[in-house]
Amino acid sequence: MITLQERVHGVAPPAAWNLAKLHRILRVRKGMKNIGMQEKNLLSLSYGRIIRKNIDSAEGLLPESFETYQIVEPGNIVMRLTDLQNDKRSLRQGLVNERGIITSAYDALELVENHDPRFWAYFLLALDLTKYYYSLGAGVRQSIKFSDFPNDWLAVPDIITQNTIADFLDRETARIDRLIEKKKQLLDVLVDARSTTISAAVTVGIDPNAELISTTSVYLPTVPSGWTVWRLKHLAQVNGGLTLGRTVKPGSPVTPTPYLRVANVQAGWLDLSDVAEIDATESEIKRYSLRDGDVLMNEGGDNDKLGRGAVWRAAFSPCLNQNHVFAVRPHNLGYSDWISLATNARYARDFFFLHSNQSTNLASISKTNLQKFPVAIPPMEVMQDILSRVSLRIERITIISAKIQASIERLRDQRTAIITAAVTGQIDVTAWPMRGQTDRQLDDLQKAMRA
């Protein structure tokens, strides 16, 4: 008899584990509506965890009454099995640790007696990490219920083994999570170092003894002697892009042509791993084709994406820009990298934010306001020297950041592997050989961050 663990994870369970049916162990709670507002502790499922929210200032789509919500108890497992085809990144279950209410759109599961809810939360997480749920919602089914799960046979450890595995996973995942968090903090330090390097380079240069002079710019009140502050409109031509939903005259010949979107324009570099195509006419290709040295700047997005620039180096031709991406064409191509660098400085973020139209967490900046962006221009030989030195510094930061990000991904893979191996009985959790290693890594990383 093939168990769910064997079918999904491809491993045979320990012989000492017993067989049981899925729906005999995990079942949906019924009749637990919050009628009469018995409970006001609002809970939400976020990144695989059940968190508390303020019921008086809850954001997002709110119900007419929280009486329609369901009451959940500690030890319940909440599952969100909606929007399966459009959202394949979320973690879709979480263990409840306090009494509260949560939307009735989710399934709240309870366990029969003599089972550890922590073990079964990890069990469901292991299924989630293999994307098992999405196979149940294949085709046109965007949402399912736990009752739609096949009533598979399971290999079930006894309660003592469940407790031991859950204790082990609580400890080991917490250690890995702490290490990941430390590495993320180190990434934040590097992001700040990059921003500091760029901001100093384009505002005061790299000569600590340079004489500073006053300007009339609010954003660049002082610059080194010999530098001049210009508005972007005096340094470059700001061009819009091609609108996706524009009307093309019927019968007009079109050519599938690459075009860059907001997602392609990162902070100082272009992500060309996913370049879309648009059917463009000959006249559109002629009008909107990018030129080597164009600085691409985002018209909209969240405040981290707004306005940031990157230089187009003609990786392929022709290539167009979407209407939400400006193509800034410097009159002097020697200014391309400098203008791009300036758009990623701290003062630029302030400028773009204050000159944008804000809508919820999104913003957009008009061509007129973008043309007002101030850029401090040094003599060309000074500019080239600064760019050369700053590029080396940024390159080192980028290499280190990439290594840290790769190590975070390895830790996440390790976390997934440990959870899967533990809930399928593939490791002896009482003699785990890696115990203590994560803590040593934490100590080493803490020393590195203080250095």
- Structure confidence at residue 38 (pLDDT): 87
List of residues 6+ apart from 60 with CB closer than 8 A: none
pLDDT per position as a tens digit, 241-261? 998 878 888 888 989 999 999
End-to-end Cα spacing for the chain: 57
Name the band, by pLDDT with cuts 50, 70 and 90, for residue 127.
very high
Name the band, by pLDDT with cuts 50, 70 and 90, for residue 447.
low
Counted domains in the chain? 3
Does residue 118 share a domain with residue 27? yes
The answer to the question of residue 385 being in a domain is no
Does residue 359 share a domain with residue 246? yes
The answer to the question of residue 70 being in a domain is yes
Residue 136 has pLDDT above 70, yes or no: yes
Q: What's the average model confidence in pLDDT over 126-149?
A: 80
Distance (Å, rounded) from C-alpha 110 to C-alpha 79? 11
Does residue 364 share a domain with residue 256? yes
Going from the C-alpha of 251 to that of each of 75, 267, 282, the distances in angstroms are: 63, 40, 13
Does residue 267 share a domain with residue 186? no
pLDDT per position as a tens digit, 276-311? 999 999 999 999 999 999 999 988 766 667 778 899
Distance (Å, rounded) from C-alpha 300 to C-alpha 293? 21
Query: Which residue in 418, 419, 410, 444 sits closest to 126, CA to CA?
Result: 419
Q: Is the dihedral of CA 294, 295, 299, 300 positive or negative?
A: positive
Q: What's the average model confidence in pLDDT over 181-187?
A: 95
Does residue 121 share a domain with residue 248? no
Instruction: Find residue 358's DSSP bridge partners.
Output: 363
Does residue 327 share a domain with residue 255? yes
> Residue 98 sits in which domain range?
4-157
Does residue 57 share a domain with residue 147? yes
- Structure confidence at residue 160 (pLDDT): 95
What is the number of helices (H) and of strands (E) in the chain? 12, 24
The answer to the question of residue 222 being in a domain is yes
pTM of the model: 0.79
Going from the C-alpha of 278 to that of each of 248, 296, 299, the distances in angstroms are: 12, 18, 19
Does residue 98 share a domain with residue 168? no
Name the band, by pLDDT with cuts 50, 70 and 90, for residue 434.
low
Name the band, by pLDDT with cuts 50, 70 and 90, for residue 432.
confident
Residue 29, class by beta-carbon neighbours within 10 Å (0-12 exposed, 13-18 middle, 19+ buried)?
A: middle
Across the chain, what does the average pLDDT equal? 88
Query: Which residue in 335, 445, 441, 421 sits closest to 9, CA to CA?
Result: 421
Q: Where residue 47 sits, what CATH number does that domain have?
A: 3.90.220.20
Does residue 301 share a domain with residue 257? yes
Distance (Å, rounded) from C-alpha 109 to C-alpha 102? 13
Distance (Å, rounded) from C-alpha 93 to C-alpha 46? 9
